């Protein structure tokens, strides 16, 4: 190897110098590949669906997904953070991991049947839901798929390649089937059906991998184990349950006070913003288990690395979002059709929400949660959800889809500001305790 080659390869060798770094790098590559797929598949299907289905049916499907999103949150119960943390700590102890896995899955299945009962009661009580009951039951298959898929297990074991493979498989099934079965407006019921089937197939395969490749066995969980998981997950559940209060709730409120067309206009903007937010997932999910351990062993080093990640994330996001904002005026009508031109305005209002969410994740998910400050984290999210509820109804009544976008922007900004204030306070406490 000559000097030039040695010089070029030196940074890569340094990056992969330890087993921990190699594992983080592999996880980052896996999740990066997944996010590339998360960009590509929606970019293929979303323009096709909005053009084939039109604003009315696309809005109905979006409203149903937002409504079912509440049950996804209920069945997740905060385990994607609390159980991930526990699996990461005990991953070398197969008996303990099996115990955690069994307790979490038992709770999730109980919550699934509870959700099914609640949804059925709502659908057959209110006329708005009853007239389109089929779409809600077909969309509810997403909940089953999420219950079956133990994302928290793979994250805790730091085996992100399984999450990548199975999620891409689910999206591939959905994408191919959309072009085969959805050819006209009347085919709109195939969209939630195919989406649910993709999630369910991926969930079944995920469980098979857990049992076969990791040797984890399901056992009858103890009451103590169930109580422990419920206790650990509850503060995080309250936090995560409040997220729909300034996300899915905006769509639901729009659907109640306006029409499916306004829902479609706003949802398209939210979907684009969601794709941009998803671009940060490889980083935040990859570093979460590492930060969890590093904050216990070397707090100052963990904070320093997070500051570097935050700095470069802000720079990149600002540049990308600004370019997209300028080009959106002609890009949205070109890709999605002129019937969705109104989506430009809510999109521009929420343009920098992905950047705001990224900063909130660094302070909230990566630091507060990993410092065990779950109650503080929950308090901020719940407060933000309440603020959004206060704002959303008058804003929607007066400004429709643009009002929903304003409410989202204000809520996310408040959330990030509070996460920053509380994180700084907790870090100062740690620094003072070491003096």
Cβ–Cβ < 8 Å for 189, 135: yes
What pLDDT sits at residue 11?
Answer: 47
Alpha-carbon span 381 to 362, nearest angstrom: 15
Q: How many CB atoms lie within 10 A of CB 13?
A: 9
pLDDT score at 8: 39
d(Cα 406, Cα 408) in Å, to the nearest integer? Answer: 5
Residue 17 is given by DSSP the state S
Determine the Cα–Cα distance for residues 237 and 231; give it in Å rounded to an integer: 10
Count how many Cα atoms sit within 13 Å of the Cα of residue 8 in the half-sphere of its side chain: 5
Q: Tokens in use for 37?
A: 């797929």
Cα angle 326-33-168, degrees, rounded to a multiple of 5: 105
> If we measure between CA atoms, which residue out of 8, 67, 3, 33 comes closest to residue 163?
33
Averages of pLDDT over runs of 10 residues in the chain (435 residues) are 46 54 66 63 82 90 91 87 82 85 92 96 90 94 92 80 78 86 92 90 88 82 85 75 70 89 92 84 71 73 82 91 94 88 95 93 83 80 87 93 95 93 83 60
CB 385 within 8 A of CB 243: yes
Write down the pLDDT at residue 265: 94
DSSP 365: I
Instruction: Give me 325's structure tokens.
Output: 């904002």
* Cα dihedral 388, 389, 395, 400 sign: positive
DSSP readout, 377-388? HHHHHHHHHHHH
DSSP H or E stretch at residue 103: helix 94-123
45-101 pLDDT, tens digit per residue, is 888 898 899 889 999 998 999 899 889 988 988 887 788 888 888 877 888 888 888
What string of DSSP letters covers 192-232? HHHHHHHHHHHHHHHHHHHHHHS--------HHHHHHHHHH
Global pTM? Answer: 0.73
With b meaning 16 or more CB within 10 Å and e meaning fewer, what string describes 212-251?
A: eebebeeeebeeebbebbbebbebbbbbbbbbbbbbbbbb
| Calculated CA dihedral for residues 68, 267, 126, 188, nearest 10 degrees | -80
- What is the C-alpha to C-alpha distance for residues 32 and 167, in angstroms, rounded to an integer? 12
Q: At CA 370, angle to CA 355 and CA 422, rounded to 5? A: 60
Rg of the chain's alpha carbons, rounded to an integer? 22
Cα(46)–Cα(53) distance, rounded to whole angstroms? Answer: 10
């Amino acid at each position: 190897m000559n000097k030039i080659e040695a010089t070029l390869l030196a940074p890569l060798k340094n990056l992969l110098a330890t087993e921990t770094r190699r594992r983080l790098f592999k996880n980052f590559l896996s999740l990066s590949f997944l996010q590339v797929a998360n960009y590509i598949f929606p970019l293929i299907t979303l323009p096709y669906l909005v053009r084939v289905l039109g604003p009315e049916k696309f809005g109905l499907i979006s409203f149903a997904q937002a409504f079912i999103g509440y049950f996804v949150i209920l069945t997740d119960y905060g385990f994607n953070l609390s159980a991930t943390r526990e699996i990461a700590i005990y991953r070398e102890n197969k008996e303990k991991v099996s115990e955690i896995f069994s307790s979490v899955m038992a709770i999730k299945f109980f919550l699934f049947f509870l959700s099914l009962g609640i949804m059925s009661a709502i659908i057959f009580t209110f006329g708005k839901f009853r007239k389109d009951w089929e779409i809600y039951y077909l969309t509810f298959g997403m909940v089953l798929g999420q219950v079956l898929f133990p994302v928290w297990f793979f994250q805790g074991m730091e085996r992100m390649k399984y999450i990548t493979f199975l999620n891409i498989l689910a999206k591939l099934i959905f994408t191919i089937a959309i072009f085969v079965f959805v050819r006209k407006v009347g085919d709109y019921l195939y969209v939630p059906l195919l989406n649910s089937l993709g999630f369910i197939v991926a969930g079944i395969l995920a469980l098979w991998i857990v049992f076969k490749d990791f040797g984890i066995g399901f056992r009858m969980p103890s009451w103590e184990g169930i109580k422990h998981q419920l206790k650990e997950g509850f503060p995080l559940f309250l936090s995560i349950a409040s997220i729909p209060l300034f996300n899915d709730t905006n769509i639901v409120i729009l659907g109640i006070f306006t029409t499916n067309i306004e829902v479609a206009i706003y949802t398209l903007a939210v979907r684009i913003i969601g794709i941009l937010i998803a671009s940060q997932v490889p980083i935040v999910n990859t570093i979460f288990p590492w930060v969890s351990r590093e904050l216990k062993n070397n707090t100052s080093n963990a904070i320093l690395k997070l500051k570097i990640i935050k700095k470069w994330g802000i720079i990149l996001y600002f540049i990308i979002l600004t370019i997209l904002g300028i080009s959106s005026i002609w890009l949205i009508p070109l890709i999605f059709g002129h019937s969705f031109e109104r989506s430009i305005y809510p999109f521009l209002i929420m343009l920098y929400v992905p950047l705001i969410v990224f900063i909130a994740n660094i302070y909230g998910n990566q630091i507060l949660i990993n410092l065990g400050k779950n109650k503080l984290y929950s308090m901020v999210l719940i407060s933000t959800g309440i603020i959004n509820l206060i704002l959303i109804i008058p804003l929607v009544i007066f400004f429709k889809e643009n009002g929903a976008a304003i409410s989202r922007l204000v809520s996310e900004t408040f959330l990030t500001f509070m996460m920053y204030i509380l994180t700084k306070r907790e870090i100062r406490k740690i620094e003072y305790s070491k003096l």
